[in-house]
């Protein structure tokens, strides 16, 4: 009888069904698929809703909900998933084991062998379960420094990054849920920074790592003034170096290899909600989630294009009047409850993580995907002032509704453990269940399941091949933009030969047959200047508690100076992180034009 409550049949594309079978659906012991997507969403809804019956993380006067209330919660959780309005990848990746872990963690590394190898052991435990982990290697003394206990020279932070990378390849990836992913971070003022900058220019090195440089206010000020800054470690100054010279080295490395990225560590801590218990010095593997040591965050994303009111789509009214704000508010609030419960039902694996995540800060991250889809449907160019204004409007609304729900849960279930003395306490909030509520993640295969574009990215191309995806083997998927296809049919311009030619270039820029008013709306990543990419990230960051995962795409012909200028703009707009990628700077990339080899 309970099964009949979950009657909505998810409308999945063929590609989405393939993703579900390869990655998410429950399996029989022989590896065959055991359930349908509808049954999967029902199973996940029941499991996550069970968190309301658990009293281990609730305040003393919390009363368990009735069976009817639990069933209503299950219905809500099922509905927003089955309608593809909200999805959380790690909840789906569990495949029915009810042995859930978070997607992202940060572990500490101190300047001693016990810490380095102890953290490596903990990383193995987490990675085998599919988690990505970030580390700040800045505490490790520079290469060549004398080790007092042995009298020998230290090998430096990069040597230990290579140790972690080797362990990932030989140990962690065997039998792991998904490929091990690390984020390695080093401060811009560490004496080994120049070695770090070039650490991944050889593609055979650190293959399981993303690397980012922690940018300080001191460096940013020196760059602005055209002066030098100190290289230092543990109170010792090793010399000075020109900020401009270092930025140029970084820009040249990014131009060649797409790395390193940046985190603006002082800006991150200006918004740290629990600064009273520690500074954040690292992020998860994709950079959108700054975390304290032993913290984790549970992420999920609202599918924005699902909230465009189709009957109003072509009406001559402001874009904001074409969005179903009531439904969006409901989904956001339900999603906050969903992610908070995810913390309760998850296995935190290490006692330090259990303490920090479940009883300390309870960070969650509601994000978005399908932003580019929404803009196409509303016929708003991504690279326009109107798009930036709508981005701020949408994200401000999501943040406000998310915070409202977190306050409500805090009052009913109990505030996060470190609430007293936190940013929220100081700002006069009476309750808050979660130290953070919003994050914009890259979404990856989750967006393929929802049949939308990932995160807040523009479409990579109007037709492309997706390959080299983790856990998908040699599978290649060809995507043709459905919105453009429909628009060309509406304009009586569609024909298969035209679509074949578009698939070869990925953009409309060179097609004289297509009107400028259509080209203006249907832009792809390389039609958009880096400035617009960065300003879009800044618009969303303004109302995001954590950080924003966004790739600043540059065409193959972009210069090193273009990369440096993008950094300067990002620093001026108070971003928390920055990732720049020049097309074809790597031999293998996930998104490729139809005629790319």
Active-site residue list: 284, 286, 288
| Degrees to nearest 5, angle at CA 75 with 101 and 79 | 80
The DSSP string of 426-482 is HTT-S--S-S--B-B---HHHHHHTTS--TTPPPS-SEEEE---TTSTT--EEEE-H
- Per the omega criterion (within 30 degrees of 0), is the bond before 222 cis? no
Cα distance between residue 447 and residue 583, in whole Å: 22
Cα distance between residue 312 and residue 306, in whole Å: 13
List Cα–Cα distances, 379 to 223, 387, 396, 397, 565, in angstroms.
39, 10, 21, 21, 30
SS3 state at 368: strand
DSSP collapsed to 3 states, 212-224: EEEECHHHHHHHH
Rounded to the nearest 10°, the torsion over CA 434, 435, 441, 446 is -20
Phi, psi dihedrals of residue 366, rounded to the nearest 5°:
-80, 125
SS3 state at 319: helix
Cα distance between residue 6 and residue 78, in whole Å: 7
Pick from 74, 76, 73: nearest CA to 3: 74
Spatial strand order in the sheet of 477-480: 477-480, 463-466, 591-592
The residue whose two tokens read 């995907």 is 369
Pick from 442, 445, 457: nearest CA to 523: 457
CB 104 within 8 A of CB 289: yes
- Residues 6+ positions from 142 with CB-CB distance below 8 Å: 154, 156, 157, 190, 191, 192, 233, 238
SS3 state at 301: strand
């Amino acid at each position: 009888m309970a099964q009949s409550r979950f009657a909505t049949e998810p409308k999945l594309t063929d590609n989405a069904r393939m993703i579900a079978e390869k990655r998410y659906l429950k399996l029989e012991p022989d590896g065959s698929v055991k359930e349908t997507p509808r049954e999967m969403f029902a199973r996940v809804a029941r499991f996550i809703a069970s968190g309301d019956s658990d009293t281990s993380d609730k305040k003393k006067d919390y009363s368990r909900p009735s069976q009817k209330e639990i069933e209503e919660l299950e219905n809500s959780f099922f509905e927003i998933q089955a309608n593809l309005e909200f999805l959380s990848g790690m909840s789906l990746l569990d495949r029915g084991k009810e042995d859930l872990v978070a997607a992202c963690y940060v572990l500490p590394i101190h300047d001693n062998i016990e810490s380095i190898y102890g953290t490596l052991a903990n990383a193995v435990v987490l990675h085998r379960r599919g988690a990505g982990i970030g580390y700040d290697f800045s505490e490790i003394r520079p290469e060549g420094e004398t080790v007092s206990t042995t009298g020998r020279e230290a090998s430096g932070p990069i040597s230990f990054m290579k140790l972690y990378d080797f362990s990932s390849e030989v140990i962690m990836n065997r039998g792991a849920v998904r490929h091990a992913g690390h984020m390695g971070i080093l401060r811009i003022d560490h004496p080994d920074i120049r070695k770090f900058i070039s650490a991944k220019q050889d593609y055979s090195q650190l293959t399981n790592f993303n690397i980012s440089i922690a940018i300080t206010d001191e460096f940013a000020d020196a760059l602005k003034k055209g002066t030098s800054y100190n290289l230092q470690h543990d109170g010792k100054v090793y010399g000075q170096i020109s900020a401009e010279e270092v930025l140029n080295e970084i820009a040249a490395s990014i131009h060649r290899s797409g790395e390193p990225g940046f985190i603006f560590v002082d800006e991150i801590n200006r918004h740290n909600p629990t600064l009273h218990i520690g500074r954040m010095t690292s992020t998860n593997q994709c950079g959108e989630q700054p975390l304290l040591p032993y913290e984790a965050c549970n992420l999920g994303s609202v599918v924005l294009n699902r909230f465009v009111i189709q009957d109003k789509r072509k009406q001559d009214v402001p874009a904001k009047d074409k969005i179903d704000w009531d439904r969006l508010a409901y989904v956001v609030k339900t999603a906050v409850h969903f992610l908070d419960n995810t913390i309760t039902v998850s296995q935190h694996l290490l006692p330090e993580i259990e303490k920090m995540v479940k009883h300390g800060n309870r960070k969650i991250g509601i994000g978005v995907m399908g932003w580019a889809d929404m803009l196409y449907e509303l016929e708003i160019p991504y690279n326009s002032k109107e798009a930036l204004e709508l981005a701020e409007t949408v994200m401000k609304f999501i943040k406000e509704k998310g915070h409202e729900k977190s306050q409500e849960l805090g009052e009913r279930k109990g505030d996060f453990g470190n609430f007293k003395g936190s940013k929220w306490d100081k700002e006069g909030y009476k309750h808050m269940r979660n130290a953070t509520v919003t994050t914009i993640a890259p979404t990856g295969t989750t967006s393929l399941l929802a049949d939308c574009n990932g995160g807040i990215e523009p479409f990579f191309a109007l037709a492309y091949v997706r390959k080299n995806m983790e856990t998908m083997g040699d599978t290649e998927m060809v995507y043709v933009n459905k919105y453009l296809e429909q628009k060309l049919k509406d304009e009586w311009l569609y024909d298969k030969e035209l679509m074949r030619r578009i698939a070869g270039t990925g953009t409309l820029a060179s097609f004289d047959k297509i009107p400028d008013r259509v080209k203006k709306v249907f832009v792809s990543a390389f039609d958009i200047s880096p400035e617009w990419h960065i300003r879009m990230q800044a618009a969303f960051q303004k109302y995001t508690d954590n950080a924003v995962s966004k790739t600043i795409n540059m065409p193959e012909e972009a210069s090193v100076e273009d990369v440096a200028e993008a950094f300067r703009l990002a620093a001026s707009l108070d971003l928390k992180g920055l990732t720049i990628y020049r097309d074809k700077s790597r031999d293998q990339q996930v998104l490729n034009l139809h005629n790319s080899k």
